[in-house]
Amino acid sequence: MQLIKHIKKEYNIYDATLFQTPAYGGKRGFEKVYRLDVPAKNHMEALNELFVLFNHPDSMPKDCKARFVSTGDIIFIDEGRKGHFYYQLKSGGWKSINRILLH
């Protein structure tokens, strides 16, 4: 029982939202396409979990209207009072950004 409690404490639940442009490769007009809670140890692990989730057809949520995650897409992680964080997928991996331009 102690081990289970210890394992649960290592993970945080992150409120994550995926933003994509209506057209692939767009630079402006991001729209919210899916929101979910992700258990992870840190932001990078959460981003990697989301990348795997949205890039495998069998693991994509049924009610999701998003396309596969690709370069330029943005994930917003909301930690409430701890802050809001935006990450954009670039060719070298996930990079932190200041804000996004919504449609």
* Cα four-point dihedral sign 43, 91, 36, 98: positive
| Spans of all domains in the chain | 2-97
Give the pLDDT of the chain (103 residues) as one tens digit per residue: 444 555 556 788 999 999 988 888 777 788 899 899 999 999 999 999 999 988 887 777 778 777 888 888 999 998 888 888 999 999 889 999 987 655 4
Q: Is the pTM of this model over 0.85?
A: no
Instruction: Name the DSSP letter for residue 28.
Output: S
Give me the residues paired with residue 13 across strands.
39
Q: Cα(39)–Cα(93) distance, rounded to whole angstroms?
A: 20
